[in-house]
Amino acid sequence: MYLPQQRPHHDIAALFAAAQPDFLRVSAPMVRYSKLEFRRLVRKNGVQLAFTPMMISESINNSEKARQNEFTTDPDDQPLIAQFAAKDSTEFVTSAQLIYPYVDGIDLNCGCPQSWAMSKGYGCGLLRQPERVREVVQQVRRTLPSDFSVSVKMRLLAGSEADSVERTIDLARQLEYAGVTFLTLHGRTPAQKHSKDTLNISAMEEVRKSLQIPLIVNGNVESWSDACELHAQTGAAGVMAARGLLANPALFNSDYPTATTTPLACVEQWLDIAAAARDNLLFQCFHHHLTFMWSSEMKRSLRVQFNSLSTKKQVVEFLGEHYNVRSSGPAPEPATYTDCTYTHFTPPRHARHIAAEAEELAWSSRSDGKFFTEFKAHQISNPAGVDLELGGLFGAEE
């Protein structure tokens, strides 16, 4: 069922204040994965602020198909931040105007370290042009109401350790002065790989101390204890998780403070959400999330069998037969979705945007993506579950 959007915006700054002295529990922007149905799951399990997947402004601004494919929401999907990869203020402001009625804030991705993104001027590529990042924030602040959240997700800037911290603080302060509501900081430079020993916690703490606005920190959050420890070490107003939430969507659920794997009840919630979503949740996304959540519980032979399943019905029967995992009750009513018509704003179309619809193919929800492909390969070749480093993640910076 589709309903028009009729809700007021949340005050995101007040959300941080309400969380004190604790920290705000935040679900990261994850291409392919932090879609509406997954946001429904993590909101049931302690997440207080959720991000959409990173979306490409050029595609969203110029393709109705991209808008309908890449963004869905519902009346309970709040508070919500939409994240965009944009090259300049024109692209970002256009995206902000389009998405404004349906979310509580907009976030500029300055943290994606993948080479394709940086080569196009997205993600960490923008960190090479701090004046452009500042201009983007200033322009969107001049365009939209002052109570609408504007934020930036970034990494530590490149340089020696002292220079990196100094440059990061300088940019963070410029963005604070330009009017951002909050910042999110991943504690690695663009060149640093995902491994526990590269996370610069002291740098995140120094950046936090330099600001008057809230700072969300992320990196290496794979359990509730990791989140609490990172908060204690940095004093940040919020803690964001990405990989950790994929492996355990109940990571922020205080009912499971010592859980190292996804609780059975959480897996059953996912089955219920999928049943209610009907055809709105593609099989591939449904199956991928269960692979992240539950494959560590499977012996290798069952994991291979699970990977060969091709329908939701087969998956539900497999989990019931082998693990006694079942939906919690009778078939749920169809889920409600907001009818995002975008009739309130017509984006300008420029000649250089004609190829935008081709661009969206790179972000097709039907493609597996690098992270999942590597994850599945490691699960097959590494049944003992040894922690192996995987490649770039979903356009998020975890």
The residue written with tokens 């690695």 in the block is 188
How far apart CA 262 and CA 246 sit, in angstroms, is 9
Nearest CA among 19, 62, 105, 7 for reference residue 348: 62
Q: Could you give the CA distance from residue 194 to residue 183 in angstroms, rounded to a whole number? A: 21
What SS3 state is found at 281?
A: coil
Instruction: Note whether 169 and 207 are within 8 A (CB).
Output: yes
Residue 56 pairs in a beta bridge with: 85
Q: Which of 153, 92, 90 lies closest to 124, judged by CA?
A: 153
112 assigned to active site: yes
Strands 337-338 and 238-241, by their bridges, are unpaired
| Catalytic residue from among 112, 124, 285, 340 | 112
DSSP state of 362: G
| 388 contact partners, CB below 8 Å, separation of at least 6 | 378, 382
Q: List the alpha helices (DSSP H) in the chain.
A: 12-19, 36-43, 57-62, 64-70, 89-99, 115-119, 130-143, 161-178, 201-210, 224-234, 243-247, 264-277, 283-294, 300-307, 312-323, 356-359, 370-381
| The two three-digit tokens of residue 308, written as one number | 């060969």
Mind telling me the catalytic residues? 112
